[in-house]
């Protein structure tokens, strides 16, 4: 059977086939585009994930590397010989305190921390440097204190080679870094890192603790920041001593540091460094004289004369040994101390202006104590019939010195000015033998007592004027008045009998 289609039907069928063929093509293209889009999204996600993972791993690896680098730098600080003293064995004078310092530095004594206290120039720093030299500078670090905690932060970081994350690359990403804080918190972070290093170092080595020396601790101020810093240092010293990781040694010329440490100190050992005795002074003079003048040899007679003038202070003995005419320079040392005392505490007398009353109090209080010490020395000399083999510096308990001065607050300023000194037993005396000689010269001058009494009277007058109040009555008629006190702060003036003439 033959089927015959009309022409319109054939055209319709062709149109339908054409549309079906194009619909299949569009569906395939859409499916292909969808798959391509999904692949691109997956690829982008994979690339992003890989980038973030690599960045995170790189950041973590850098952070771990940086922390290890910090520990390596601290290890380098304690294993280098930068803190060694340039002094040789031939220049050194054996002293009793040296053995205590040596045991602390070489690790023989553990579980303690130390405060070296003594007058300026007694050789505290030299003994520390000598002890460090004897161990080759290993496991030792040292830095100088300062009144500004920011400078203490910098010096501590330099001593232990800790940069407080200031070289950390993370600061490039605008992240608030650990440096955006106070100096005290930075110092605490440095001690945290030091403790972390010490725990590993002591465990992996011979068990000898690290040694951290804080020199010139007295330079810290007695203000809020300074007291907080001293408290932080002592707390760390206590914890380090308890764990046996670090031995901290503080060096101070002034008494106030000892007062602060005494309040909280449980593992504190105080080492008082005094002047050399006569035999040590003679030996020191000969050694230092050979150092500066190789061909010059001193006899014992001249050395004893010099000791009688300047005492056993290493600072003065070294200075005298450098001059050709040693006796003249020794007398100049005493004269310089006398001038220093008069410049700081000179009496102003009865003509003192009322605007400088505080200066008058400061100087008169010092001279009252000078007078008391000179009287004690004179009495001692009369009792012992002349000069003793060693210098006698009279001393008073701190509470008694404050009674004599009638002031409790000036004594620490005198100590800071190196006029008087306070030892670890709270005894007050002249700062040195030349200063005591200056005391005697000033107190025995003609008219000293009169000048002192005039200054004290003038101070009393100014204080009395400050307490006096003047009452002025205006627009009153003539007559007799009665003044009565109604209460504590109110006076009443009443006319009792008027003048009849008025």
320 & 332 share domain:
no
* Alpha-carbon dihedral sign for residues 365, 371, 374, 376: negative
| Alpha helices by DSSP H, 82-212 | 96-105, 124-134, 149-160, 183-204
Listed in order, strand segments (DSSP E) in 376-502 are 395-397, 420-422, 427-430, 479-487, 490-498
User: What DSSP state is assigned to residue 477?
Assistant: -
Q: How far apart are CA 113 and CA 257, in angstroms?
A: 14
Query: Phi first, then psi: what are they for 393, rounded to 5°?
Result: -110, 110
25 & 102 share domain:
no
194 & 90 share domain:
yes
Listed in order, strand segments (DSSP E) in 157-299 are 210-215, 246-252, 268-272
373 & 270 share domain:
no
The owner of tokens 């305190």 is 97
The angle subtended at Cα 435 by Cα 404 and Cα 443, nearest 5°, is 55
DSSP H or E stretch at residue 300: helix 300-310
| CB distance 478 to 498 below 8 Å | yes
Looking at the predicted structure, is the pLDDT value of residue 112 above 90?
yes
258 & 190 share domain:
yes
Q: Is residue 252 part of a domain?
A: yes
The pLDDT of 477-495, averaged and rounded, is: 69
Q: Is residue 100 part of a domain?
A: yes
The owner of tokens 């608030």 is 176
Q: Is residue 194 part of a domain?
A: yes
Mean pLDDT score of the chain, rounded to an integer?
A: 83
Q: Are strands 420-422 and 246-252 parallel, antiparallel or unpaired?
A: unpaired
Q: What is the pLDDT of residue 326?
A: 92
Task: Please state, as a whole number, how many other Cβ atoms lie within 10 Å of the Cβ of residue 59.
Answer: 13
**What residues are paired with 422 via a beta bridge?**
428
Name the band, by pLDDT with cuts 50, 70 and 90, for residue 428. Answer: very high
Looking at the predicted structure, is the pLDDT value of residue 383 above 90?
no
Which tokens belong to 178?
Answer: 């650990």
Burial track 136-147 (b if 16+ CB lie within 10 A, e otherwise) = ebbbbbbbbbbe
Domain closes at, from 309, 324, 339: 324
Tell me the C-alpha to C-alpha distance, in Å, between residue 291 and each of 288, 316, 328.
5, 16, 20
Q: Is residue 489 part of a domain?
A: no
Q: Is residue 353 part of a domain?
A: yes
Q: How far apart are CA 394 and CA 405, in angstroms?
A: 16
Q: How far apart are CA 142 and CA 136, in angstroms?
A: 14
210 & 91 share domain:
yes
Looking at the predicted structure, is the pLDDT value of residue 157 above 90?
no
* Choice among 6-15, 116-125, 265-274, 407-416 with the minimum mean pLDDT: 6-15
Name the band, by pLDDT with cuts 50, 70 and 90, for residue 84. Answer: very low
Domain around 332? 326-466
* Alpha-carbon dihedral sign for residues 319, 307, 446, 378: positive
Q: What is the pLDDT of residue 94?
A: 77
Which CATH number is 410's domain given?
A: 1.10.460
138 & 255 share domain:
yes
Percent residues over pLDDT 70 in the chain: 81
* Choice among 10-24, 135-149, 249-263, 334-348 with the minimum mean pLDDT: 10-24
387 & 448 share domain:
yes
Which tokens belong to 113?
Answer: 């921390």
Looking at the predicted structure, is the pLDDT value of residue 359 above 80?
yes
The angle subtended at Cα 200 by Cα 60 and Cα 116, nearest 5°, is 120
Q: What is the pLDDT of residue 247?
A: 94
Looking at the predicted structure, is the pLDDT value of residue 300 above 60?
yes
269 & 283 share domain:
no
116 & 243 share domain:
yes
User: What DSSP state is assigned to residue 120?
Assistant: T
256 & 405 share domain:
no
Q: How far apart are CA 254 and CA 119, in angstroms?
A: 7
Q: What is the pLDDT of residue 87?
A: 45
| CB distance 300 to 282 below 8 Å | yes
| CB distance 82 to 159 below 8 Å | no
Q: Is residue 95 part of a domain?
A: yes
123 & 46 share domain:
no
Which tokens belong to 420?
Answer: 């008087």
Q: Is residue 73 part of a domain?
A: no
Which CATH number is 202's domain given?
A: 3.40.50.300
Number of domains in the chain: 4
Q: Is residue 497 part of a domain?
A: no
DSSP H or E stretch at residue 342: helix 326-345
Looking at the predicted structure, is the pLDDT value of residue 6 above 70?
no
Looking at the predicted structure, is the pLDDT value of residue 88 above 50?
no
pLDDT (tens digit per residue) in 38-53? 788 888 888 888 888 8
The owner of tokens 């680098």 is 69
Alpha carbons within 13 A on the beta-carbon side of 305 = 12
């Amino acid at each position: 059977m033959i089927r015959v289609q009309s022409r319109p039907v054939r055209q319709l069928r062709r149109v339908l086939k054409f549309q079906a063929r194009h619909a299949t093509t569009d569906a395939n293209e859409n499916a292909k585009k969808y798959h391509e889009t999904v692949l691109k999204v997956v690829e982008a996600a994979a690339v992003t994930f890989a980038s973030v993972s690599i960045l995170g791993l790189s950041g973590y690896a850098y952070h771990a590397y940086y922390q290890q680098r910090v520990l390596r730098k601290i290890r380098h600080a304690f294993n280098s010989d930068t803190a060694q003293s340039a002094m040789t064995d031939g220049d050194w004078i054996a002293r009793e305190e040296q053995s205590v310092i040596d045991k602390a530095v070489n690790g023989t004594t553990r579980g303690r921390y130390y405060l070296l206290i003594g007058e300026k120039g007694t050789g505290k720093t030299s003994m520390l440097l000598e002890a460090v030299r004897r161990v080759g500078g290993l496991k030792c670090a040292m830095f100088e204190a300062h009144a500004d905690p920011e400078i203490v932060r910098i010096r501590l970081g330099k001593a232990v080679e800790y940069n407080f994350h200031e070289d950390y690359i993370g600061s490039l990403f605008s992240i608030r870094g650990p440096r955006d804080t106070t100096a005290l918190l930075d110092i605490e972070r440095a001690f945290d890192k030091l403790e972390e290093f010490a725990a590993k170092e002591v465990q992996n080595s011979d068990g000898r603790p690290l040694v951290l020396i804080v020199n010139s601790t007295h330079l810290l101020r007695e203000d809020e920041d300074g007291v907080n810093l001293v408290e932080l240092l002592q707390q760390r010293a206590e914890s380090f001593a308890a764990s046996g990781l670090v031995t901290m040694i503080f060096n101070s010329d002034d008494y106030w540091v000892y007062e602060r440490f005494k309040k909280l100190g449980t593992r504190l050992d105080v080492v008082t460094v005094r002047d050399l005795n006569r035999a040590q002074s003679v030996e020191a003079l000969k050694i230092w004289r050979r150092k500066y003048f190789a061909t010059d040899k001193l006899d014992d007679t001249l050395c004893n004369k010099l000791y009688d003038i300047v005492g056993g202070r290493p600072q003065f003995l070294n200075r005298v040994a450098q001059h050709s005419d040693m006796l003249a320079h020794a007398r100049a040392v005493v004269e310089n101390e006398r001038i220093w005392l008069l410049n700081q505490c000179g009496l102003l007398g009865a003509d003192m202006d009322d605007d400088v009353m505080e200066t008058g109090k400061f100087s008169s209080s010092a001279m009252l104590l000078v007078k008391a010490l000179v009287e004690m020395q004179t009495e001692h000399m009369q009792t012992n019939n002349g000069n003793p083999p060693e210098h006698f510096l009279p001393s008073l308990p701190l509470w008694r010195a404050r009674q004599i001065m009638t002031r409790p607050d000036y004594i620490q300023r005198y100590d800071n000015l190196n006029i008087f000194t306070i030892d670890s037993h709270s005894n007050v005396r002249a700062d040195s033998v030349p200063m005591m000689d200056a005391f005697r010269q000033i107190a025995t001058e003609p008219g000293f007592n009169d000048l002192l009494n005039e200054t004290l009277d003038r101070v009393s007058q100014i204080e009395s004027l400050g307490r006096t109040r003047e009452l002025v009555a205006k627009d009153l008629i003539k007559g007799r008045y009665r003044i009565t006190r109604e209460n504590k702060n109110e006076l009443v003036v009443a006319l009792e009998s008027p003048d009849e003439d008025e």
